[in-house]
Chains A and B, each alone.
Chain A
């Protein structure tokens, strides 16, 4: 029998489906990962590539289908169980103890010891042996927290290998790395493969994927489009494969803004952590979409505009007047409001009532000499809730008891009570059901029709194209394209968002 080494499947994913609530994340996905190869999952935001990675590493359990590791069917309930089968994950958020040394981090929880005393010399000996076996050069005595991110990732990889992992899932490992560090990580990945380890790479940097991977699986809308040798793919062919989803909530017809509409919001040369030199206008009555990959700097830009994040340089003008010191509060007063990305962390007071949540930004107008006029408040809130169609059993119920879609609409109600001129909506349809999604679309279009300027941040390209008059695409903190919402295609948006791939070594 002449079975080439590296030709046997290490992991077999067979017909796996996964739903979160009613939303499909994966549908009948089958992928075979060869031992000793670098296998990449690519796709748009939400295509299911991360979910697939998490199913292999035991973070999620599949609803249907099978997972085979070296031919043996497994049912992981936790990442720990996956580690028992030699599968480890390196997540974007690194799990090192910054105060400990590199060697101590590698053997954390598995230190060689006599009774309770760690045998330091033995620890170092094992560490050096481990480094040698993988081909890493790391200072074992250095304090881990002071090392650069790429080296910290190596520490995590070593820890995984010290626990006998032979398959490592890396979820967007280069997203937080500089170009130089990205190069180092790529060497690390190659070195792992050369020594027979299998690497699963979840990434949206196409250049990186094509340069590193042996095999590429393209996902779209929770399904596998194809799995092919990386040598047979090009950036162009991969982008083509990612296209062509279908929107399951229809988008209402766009109303063109008045041709003479003035700029409601003007951003000029804005730079902030994660954002470089952003300039654009949002006119009254216009919906401007802000597309881009996760981590491209869209939320950072939104936060910089409303003053929730410090800006280095640049100006923001509302209706032609430059705003000096920006804070969420001062921008609210100028009529610019942001609906934040995370309802629960940045938006709502989950334990307080629906009414209190809705009224929070406009208490001043609902009170007299600091006394909240509760009848006035109730009437105003009831009207606002009705306008955005929040279905709460009772306005006194805690906001945390509402469904995701209603929570989102509650934030719109809060925004509208302040009578804004510009709304910045960050991922307003994430995690909401189809019905709520449709009504949020209608609301956005209606508000634009009333003359508000809207900046819509969304990872859903079709949503952006369907709603926006103009689409800005961000990549690595910069606005790299300004497309017409009427004529641009998904391909145009993805092309701008993905290329040129950053930081290939």
Chain B
């Protein structure tokens, strides 16, 4: 028999050794899959124990509401990362969508303004996806470039000014009303996150995203339209960032082009700390949610405990390195 390269030692199938390997792989995968929960719970308990005001409904709901505009894009960026991409333009899209919605809220029905804001984000997302897949521009550079362009457009549109909607209180309904004691914006966040999580975990598109990010060539040969799946992820990411921008514009009744200047990094930090792989093919929306909230808790904790907020940045940096390191180590261990 002619064997040139033998990649696998022939071993009887289903042996104890194989089971052991499978078990170990599952164990390692589990660390990445649920790893973020452990520090989150610990931090939560520590804060609950050491700070009186922390464990109040008001404070917790407040944290959740403040994180709306981070959680929604983070959920969608998770899809982008899983599909093997990256999106640095969410902050710029957030800004443009806020400006767009605020602008139209001045003259038209607030509902139309909101829809237009989200639509703008969707369009930028599709453009991102097309540039990256069809024109094969590196995703990091492409989304960095569009974020400059988009921010520029927002500045042009506003003339560098802040748009204020104080005369249009109807536009504030999105963020300032509530149902069952919880803000509408929080409900919207919950819905968006659940929807995106469902999409990734339970639908064919979600499966294709894992395939496209895990092994694009294999996915293509198996009949997956890799480009289309990736464009969908970027489109959702754009729309989600826009929704975040619209919610915040509604909350403060004003918007400016530079509103989301650091959002892309906050979002990415949350996703990665949650344990979604920067290399694609692995991740989950709920983990990004926990990641974002974990970072928020760190910030909240620094406030409540009266610590110097400078240390917050340092600890966030260390957290990021740990999260990415854990991902790299598990991959190394696997191979």
Contact = CB atoms under 8 A, between A and B. Distances in A.
Most buried by A among B9, B19, B205, B217: B9
Interface of B: 1-14, 18-19, 21-22, 25-26, 29, 202-205, 207-208, 210-211, 214-215, 217-225, 281-282, 334
A21 B8 CA distance: 7
18 contacts: A21-B9, A46-B1, A308-B221, A329-B223, A340-B218, A346-B218, A348-B218, A349-B214, A351-B29, A352-B210, A363-B208, A364-B204, A393-B18, A398-B22, A405-B13, A431-B7, A436-B13, A461-B2
Contacts of B215: 345-346, 348-350
A364 B224 CA distance: 11
A34 to B, nearest CB: 27
Interface in A391-416: 391, 393-394, 397-398, 400-407, 414
A330 B285 CA distance: 32
A65 interface: no
B207 to A, nearest CB: 6
Given A432-B8, A460-B2, A393 B14 contact: yes
A22 B225 contact: no
A308 B6 CA distance: 26
Nearest to A340: B221
Interface stretch (A113-121, A244-252, A467-475): A244-252
A294 B4 contact: yes
Contacts of B220: 308, 328
Contacts of A460: 1-2
Interface stretch (A72-80, A130-138, A177-185, A367-375): A367-375
Contacts of A359: 207
Contacts, number: 170
B210 A459 contact: no
Contacts of B204: 363-364, 367, 370-372
A309 B167 CA distance: 60
B2, B211, B218, B334: which has the most chain A beta carbons within 10 Å?
B2
B29 A398 contact: yes
Contact of B224 (A344, A360, A433, A436): A360
B202 A371 contact: yes
Contacts of A328: 220-223
Given A372-B207, A404-B10, A418-B223, 13 more contacts: A50-B4, A333-B223, A345-B218, A347-B218, A352-B214, A360-B222, A360-B223, A393-B22, A394-B22, A402-B18, A403-B13, A405-B10, A414-B222
B1 A249 contact: yes
Contacts of B221: 306, 308, 328, 338, 340, 346-347
A356 interface: yes
Nearest to A19: B6
Contacts of A351: 29, 214, 281-282, 334
A45 interface: yes
Contacts of B12: 435
Contacts of A14: none
B11 A433 contact: yes
Contacts of B5: 20, 430-431
Interface in A457-484: 459-463
B219 A360 contact: yes
A400 B25 contact: yes
A367 B12 CA distance: 35
A19 to B, nearest CB: 9
A360 to B, nearest CB: 5
A340 B218 CA distance: 9
A349 B213 CA distance: 9
Contact of B4 (A344, A345, A393, A459): A459
A372 B202 contact: yes
B223 A361 contact: yes
Interface residues of A, number: 72
A221 interface: yes
Contacts of A431: 3, 5-8
Nearest to A49: B4
- Give 4 closest A-B pairs by Cβ, nearest first: A433-B10, A46-B2, A21-B9, A404-B8
A225 interface: no
A391 B4 contact: no
A338 B26 CA distance: 30
B141 to A, nearest CB: 20
A55 interface: no
A224 interface: no
A395 to B, nearest CB: 11
B91 to A, nearest CB: 30
A434 interface: yes
Contacts of B282: 351
Nearest to B201: A372
Interface in A288-310: 294, 306, 308
B207 A44 contact: no
A505 B87 CA distance: 55
Contacts of B22: 393-394, 397-398, 401
Interface string A478-492: 000000000000000
Given A22-B9, A329-B225, A404-B8, A44 B281 contact: no
Contacts of B14: 391, 393
Contacts of A404: 7-8, 10
Contacts of B21: 401
Greatest chain B CB density within 10 A among A351, A398, A405 is at: A351
B203 A372 contact: yes
A42 B176 CA distance: 80
B284 to A, nearest CB: 13
Given A21-B8, A401-B18, A430 B3 contact: yes
Of B18, B29, B214, B218, most buried by chain A (CB within 10 Å of CB) is B218
Contacts of A221: 1-2
A300 to B, nearest CB: 14
Contacts of A349: 210-211, 214-215, 218-219, 281
Interface in A373-396: 374, 391, 393-394
A23 interface: yes
A367 B203 contact: yes
Contacts of A45: 2, 4
B330 to A, nearest CB: 10
A25 interface: yes
A245 B203 contact: no
B85 to A, nearest CB: 17
Contact of B207 (A294, A308, A356): A356
Contacts of B29: 351, 398
Nearest to B220: A328
Contacts of A294: 4
